[in-house]
Amino acid sequence: MITKAGNTAKNQVEVYDDEGKHFFSYGSRVATIDGVRTILYEPYWNNFSATTNRYLLDFLNEHSIKDIRDNVRDGTYEVQ
């Protein structure tokens, strides 16, 4: 993942494997997109860390944490 300054983010990582695309923040898996489902992992997706939230928004291509919470509420995103 890339910082606003255009550098590689040290603790924000996207990993691709047979199970899909994963977002890790500081070594913890926050989200997975497997082609059909978007899975968010407790408690990391909703922990109010400004850094994790910023990169999660980028990963999910969302505009705000409110949008993510709305997608959880309506079942678009799964929480585990």
Mean pLDDT by 10 residues, the chain (80 residues): 90 95 96 96 85 94 94 96
Number of domains in the chain: 1
Amino acid identity, residue 58?
A: D
Is 45 inside a domain boundary?
A: yes
Is 36 inside a domain boundary?
A: yes
Is 49 inside a domain boundary?
A: yes
Burial class for 30, CB neighbours closer than 10 Å (0-12, 13-18, 19+):
buried
* Residue 8 C-beta-side C-alpha neighbours within 13 Å: 3
Place of tokens 């047979």: 18
Contact 14, 23 (CB under 8 A): yes
Is 55 inside a domain boundary?
A: yes
pLDDT at 28: 94
Is 48 inside a domain boundary?
A: yes
Burial class for 25, CB neighbours closer than 10 Å (0-12, 13-18, 19+):
buried
Domain membership of residue 58 as a residue range: 12-79
Is 57 inside a domain boundary?
A: yes
Q: Is the pTM of this model over 0.85?
A: yes
Is 75 inside a domain boundary?
A: yes
